[in-house]
Structure 1
Amino acid sequence: MNQDMNGWIPYRMRFLEGEWLVNWLDLDNHHINEPFFDETIDRCRIKMSGRSRFKTASNLQFLLAAAPLNSIPPTAFIFHVSRCGSTLLSQALASEKQNIVIAEAPILDEILRAQEHDKFIGEAEVKEIFMSAVAFMGQIRNPFYKHYFIKLDSWHLHFYHQLRSWYPDTPFYFLSREPEAIISSHQKRRGLQSIPGMIDPRVFKINLSDAHFADFNSYTAEVLAGYYNLLSTYIDLQERKNHFYDYAWGVEGLLQHFHHTVGIAFEKSDPMNNRLAFHSKYPDQPFTGDQATNQKTFYPVAQEAYQQFYNKLKQHG
């Protein structure tokens, strides 16, 4: 890799006229601490001076041929069912200057779902592209970086077997929460996975119907039921590198549990402790708890799937 590319990372991948194009971002020495990677992109392209003010693109071959000068392998991947503390966890981790935290980077989703656009791209190539992008994002751009955490999108629970085959020795951390609270949260501010058709329904193995568009919450409930069913099967695998935490166990114990299970010494610092007191997605707003909605949030399909999963989780320990 050319020295001039040091600090650059791929941040988007688009399929245009039969060819994949990769957009690049110059992070320079910016410590990533935004709640979502989209915000990091905006900050670096708009607010920072330097090369990222300009749109920079390459073909896919350039990404695969290049290699970062010095990169940390992922310390852990964070999976979640959405609205369950995953953003708060990633934000607390990002408050420590020794941690690289990538939260829901669009390019990782675009790579995992590349076959939706390009029927000729094979799994071996998808793996190579994904691992190359991950390596670029894990560059040691600051000398104090020691750990590297990647928070995936919630629907990437459906890509577990693929990712586990690529990273057999990396800890996977799964966060969950009971469905009524999640549905209520999406009612106020919807994520893509809670809007019918925004994510290819084949990812969720759902057949869209008029009923889903008439009641977005019913669709969200089916998505969540699929998540809980997957989590149940992942517990059954008894994979020693898989670790689970449910929101019902309390946010105050999350950081210690995470560090202990992924094998990192835990010393709760003031930045971490202070970050837990603020809203996960709005770092300048104190967290005052979730507010209930007046609309229906109880759906048996989600509640029953969650209860089956949670019973397994309690036995799993």
Structure 2
Amino acid sequence: MTVEATTERVLRLLALLQRRPSWTAAELAAELRVTDRSVRRDVERLRTLGYPVHATAGVGGGYQLGAGTQLPPLLLDDEEAIATAVSLRLATGGTVAGAGEAALRALAKLDQVMPPRLRGEVRAVHGATETLVGPGVEIDAELLVTLARACRDAVRVRFRYAARDRGEHERTVEPVRMVATGRRWYLMAWDVDRADWRTFRLDRMHDVVATTWRFRAREHPDPVAYVQRSVAEAPYRHLARVRLRARPEQVRDLVPPQVGRVEDDRDGWCVLVAGGENLDWLAVHVARLGFEAEILEPPELREAATQLASRLTAMAEPRHG
């Protein structure tokens, strides 16, 4: 076998070890299509390069990529590792458009092999840094890393959650994916006690603990679509469906995904689905979009729009005397 093929296989082995917390030699051999002996040799090559690969003996034994005492050589020195980790922490907060989830995955991998002395440096720099983010939306990077690992490793998470009624309840969930929408982070997960899919705001989660209870992944809705539907519709008293004479992308430029969902329709129209606590405000927001509109539901929104039109007409009439 050529040196290039061996190097490629070792990199594939490293990727497998980063994918989940533990592998048996037989599982790795099957994935790489080599013998157990080749797996052992490749593990030794990773160790020689500085990757901390731990092995446990016995029937349930296997290989695990652990936290090391040094970073792998030829990849990042101390200063580069600190700069990278700090940048990734800032990116996970949404300061880099489209980079949040990718930065979070990279941060989880880097944090796994970073020695404690460098973790302390990163936390010190991050703790002394402020970003121009609105109050109540900043998420602790440690929470992001904990949830990212739990999603990757398919382990249950336990936490206390502050509900909309301000009461706190303990929840146990099987996490699937985190979704960043606008200025907030959400977790889509299977709620074990309620036996259903749920969406949780990360800024309302407290005392988050990743357990050792592994779960088998189940079929789930598309995380992005599910979170958007939950955020834009579920919490509100009224749910409106309005046809607009506009292309979907035109409306999406004006309506953030956490405010409303836009569906393609026909003949140059689209449908906006949005929730709200007050029908008058819904009517105002739809009118402010500036498109020809047709209210589909609820009927009460038509009445609110009629009353709003009457008030606006009265405001526009000149007063004499």
The answer to whether TM tops 0.5 is no
Give the greater-gyration-radius structure (CA). 2
Q: Which is richer in strand?
A: 2
Give me the TM-score of the superposition, normalised by structure 2: 0.22
TM-score, normalization: structure 1? 0.22
Greater length-normalized contact order (CA 8 Å, ≥ 6 residues apart): 1
